[in-house]
Structure 1
Amino acid sequence: MSVTTPLTLLDHIHGSVSVVGSMNADYTVTVDRLPHPGETVNAGPLRILPGGKSGNQSVAAARIGADVCLFGAVGSDDNAGFLVDSLNSAGVNTSCIRHVPGASGATVITVDKAGENTIAYSSGSNACISVDYIESMRDALTSANVLGLCLESPIESVTAAARMCHGAGVVVLLNDSPFVAELPAELIEASDILLVNEHEMAQLLGIAEPDDDNWDGLDWSEVARQMHNFGFGQAVVTLGGDGSVVIDGDDIHRIAPVKVDAVDTTGCGDAFMGTVLAGLASGHSLADSAQLASYVSAYAATGLGAQASYGTAAQIRERFGVLR
Structure 2
Amino acid sequence: MPSPSVFIAGPASWNSIVVLDRLPEPVPHMQFAEDSWDTVGGTSAGKALSLTGLGRSTLLYALAGDDEPGERVRGALAGAGVDVRWASASATERHLNLMTRAGGRVSLYLSAPSATDGAEDDELRDLMAAADALVLDLAAEPLRLLPLAREAGTPIWVDVHDYDGSAEFHRPFLDAADAVFCNADRLDDPVAFLHSRIAAGATLAVCTLGADGAVAVDADGVEHRVAAVPVDVVDTNGAGDAFLAGVLDAHLAGASVPEALAAGARSASSVLRTRHLHPLLDRVTP
Q: For the superposition of Structure 1 and Structure 2, which TM-score range results when normalised by the shorter chain? A: 0.7 to 0.9
Against the structure 1 CA distance between its residues 161 and 119, is the aligned structure 2 distance closer, same or farther, given a 3 Å change threshold? farther
Cα offset for 1:181?
A: 2.7
Name the structure where helix makes up a greater proportion of residues: 1
Q: Is the 8 A contact 2:182 2:206 kept in 1?
A: yes
Tell me the distance in 1 between the aligned counterparts of 2:34 and 2:182: 31
Q: Which amino acid aligns with 1:171?
A: P
Instruction: State the partner residue of 1:7.
Output: none
| Corresponding residue to 2:23 among 34, 55, 67 | 34
Considering Cα pairs closer than 8 Å and 6+ residues apart, tell me whether 1 or 2 has the greater RCO. Answer: 1
Question: Retained in 1: the 8 A contact 2:12–2:93?
Answer: yes
Larger strand proportion, structure 1 or 2? Answer: 2
Residue number in structure 1 paired with 2:203: 233
CA contact (8 A) 2:115 2:144 kept: no
User: What's the secondary structure of 1:128's corresponding residue?
Assistant: coil
Alignment correspondent of 1:73: 63
Aligned to 1:198: 184
Change (3 A) 1:120 1:308: farther
TM-score by length of 2: 0.84
Mapped partners of 1:122, 1:149: distance in 2? 22
Please say if residues 147 and 171 of structure 1, whose CA atoms lie closer than 8 Å, have aligned partners that are also in contact.
yes
Supply the AA of the counterpart residue of 2:136: L
Q: Is the 8 A contact 1:162 1:187 kept in 2?
A: no
| Aligned-pair CA distance for 1:187 | 4.1
Aligned to 1:254: 225
C-alpha separation between the residues in 2 aligned to 1:269 and 1:29?
A: 19
For the Cα contact (< 8 Å) 2:195–2:217, is it kept in 1? no
Match of 1:281 among 252, 259, 264: 252
More displaced stretch, 156-165 vs 75-84? 156-165
Quick check: 2:12–2:44 contact (8 Å CA) kept in 1?
Answer: yes
User: Whole-Å Cα distance in 1 between the matches of residues 81 and 54 of structure 2?
Assistant: 10
Which of 106, 122, 127 is equivalent to 1:118? 106
Q: Which residue of 2 aligns with 1:176?
A: 160
Select between 286-295 and 55-64 the one with higher mean Cα deviation. 286-295
Identical columns (%)? 25
| CA distances 1:191-211 after superposition (whole Å, capped 9, x unpaired) | 2111111245x3xxxxx45xx
Q: Which runs of 5+ in 1 are unaligned?
A: 1-14, 203-207, 210-214, 312-324
Greater CA drift, 81-90 or 185-194? 185-194
- How far apart in 2 are the matches of 1:130 and 1:21? 16
More deviation in 127-136 or 294-303?
A: 127-136
Q: Please state how far the C-alpha of 1:182 moved relative to its aligned partner.
A: 3.4
Is the contact between residue 6 and residue 58 of structure 2 (CA under 8 Å) also seen in structure 1? yes
Which residue of 2 is the match for residue 128 of structure 1? 115
Describe the shift of the 1:247–1:83 C-alpha distance in structure 2 as closer, same or farther (beyond 3 A): same
1:294 maps to which residue?
265
Partner of 1:270: 241
Deviates more, 1:85-94 or 1:53-62: 85-94
Partner of 1:140: 127
Shift of 1:264: 1.3
> Partners in 1 of 2:11 and 2:48 — Cα distance?
10
The total of aligned residue pairs comes to 275
Q: Which residue of 2 aligns with 1:89?
A: 79
Q: TM-score, normalised by structure 1?
A: 0.75
Question: Mean alpha-carbon deviation: is it higher for 262-271 or for 129-138?
Answer: 129-138
Q: CA RMSD in A?
A: 2.7
Which residue is equivalent to 1:20?
9
CA distance in 1, matches of 2:249, 2:281: 14
Change (3 A) 1:290 1:310: farther
Change (3 A) 1:118 1:186: closer
Which residue does 1:245 correspond to in 2? 215
Cα distance, 1:161 vs. partner? 4.4
The code of the aligned residue for 1:246 comes to: A
1:225–1:306 Cα change, 3 Å: closer
Shift of 1:189: 4.4
